[in-house]
């Protein structure tokens, strides 16, 4: 199957700082990527849809000014958690699918811990 | 609101066949049915996808009745390493991108020795 990577795999930061997470489609182009957040023992919660060359679409309750998404190319989307707080600590996962494909592939996830 | 409903948990023993059924009563005409497996602290891994009837690959089979309102993932002869959470999702590609996938609670499968 298609490969999606994330970087970093884990990050620890101080409260108030910003953290950038990258999501890359390694062997296909993706006009659309998705960002999810997952808390322990819970399911994945969709945060936003990242659209190449245009603004991201955020799900209800997700602060767009706090979770900045940039999809500057057909293989890269970034999620920046701005002014992170301990409650932002979570497992962040992205997904992408090849054009004209009905299959989404997920990245390995990024564990964010805010102290 | 998730489009799918699955049992919260299941238990099985090594070597047994496990069938997990998912309900998706409001599946759209263009939607495909996809099953993912997730281990702790990892992203979901694609298992199998189908549109109708039966699909089979090297790790699983997927049975979809004619009305497509449900589907059953079949795992033959499970092992301890199959202990994971299994998600059933419905969705389809769109002209300009991909319809977002909304996760339900998934099924937590525990395989015992």
The two structure tokens encoding residue B94: 């769109």
Q: Determine contact, residues B32/A102, Cβ cutoff 8 Å.
A: yes
Contact B100 A106 (CB under 8 A): no
Q: What is the pLDDT of residues A3-43, one digit of tens each?
A: 999 999 999 999 999 999 999 999 998 888 999 999 999 99
User: How far does the CA of residue A21 sit from the closest CA of chain B (Å)?
Assistant: 15
**What backbone torsions phi and psi does residue B81 show, to the nearest 5 degrees?**
-70, -5
Tell me which residue in B42, B98, B106 faces A104 most closely, judged by beta carbons.
Answer: B98
Sequence-separated (6 or more) residues with CB below 8 Å from residue A113? A10, A11, A12, A13, A89
Cis peptide before B59 (omega within 30 of 0): no
Q: Cβ atoms within 10 A of the Cβ of B23, count? A: 15
User: How far does the CA of residue A107 sit from the closest CA of chain B (Å)?
Assistant: 6
Q: Which residues of chain B have pLDDT under 70?
A: 1-2, 93-99
Specify burial of residue A68 (Cβ count, 10 A radius: 0-12, 13-18, 19+): middle
Q: What is the pLDDT of residues A59-111, one digit of tens each?
A: 999 999 999 999 989 999 999 999 999 999 999 999 998 876 778 899 999 99
């Amino acid at each position: 199957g298609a490969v999606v990577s994330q970087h970093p795999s884990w990050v620890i930061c101080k409260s108030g700082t910003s953290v950038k997470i990258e999501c890359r489609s390694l062997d296909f182009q993706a006009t659309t990527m998705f960002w999810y957040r997952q808390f322990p023992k819970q399911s994945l919660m969709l945060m936003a849809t990242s659209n190449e060359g245009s603004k991201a679409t955020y799900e209800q309750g997700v602060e767009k000014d706090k979770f900045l998404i940039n999809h500057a190319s057909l293989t890269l989307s970034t999620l920046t958690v701005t002014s992170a707080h301990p409650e932002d600590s979570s497992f962040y996962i992205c997904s992408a699918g090849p054009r004209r494909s009905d299959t989404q592939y997920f990245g390995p996830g990024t564990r964010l811990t805010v102290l | 609101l998730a489009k799918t409903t699955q049992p919260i948990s299941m238990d099985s023993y090594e070597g047994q066949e496990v069938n997990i059924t998912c309900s998706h009563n409001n599946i759209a005409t263009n939607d495909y049915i996809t099953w993912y497996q997730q281990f702790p602290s990892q992203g979901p891994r694609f298992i199998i996808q189908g549109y109708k009837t039966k699909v089979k690959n090297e790790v699983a089979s997927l049975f979809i009745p004619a009305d497509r309102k449900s589907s059953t993932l079949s795992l033959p002869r499970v092992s301890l390493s199959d202990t994971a959470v299994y998600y059933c999702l419905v969705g389809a590609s769109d002209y300009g991108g991909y319809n977002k996938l909304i996760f339900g609670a998934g099924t937590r499968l525990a395989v015992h020795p």
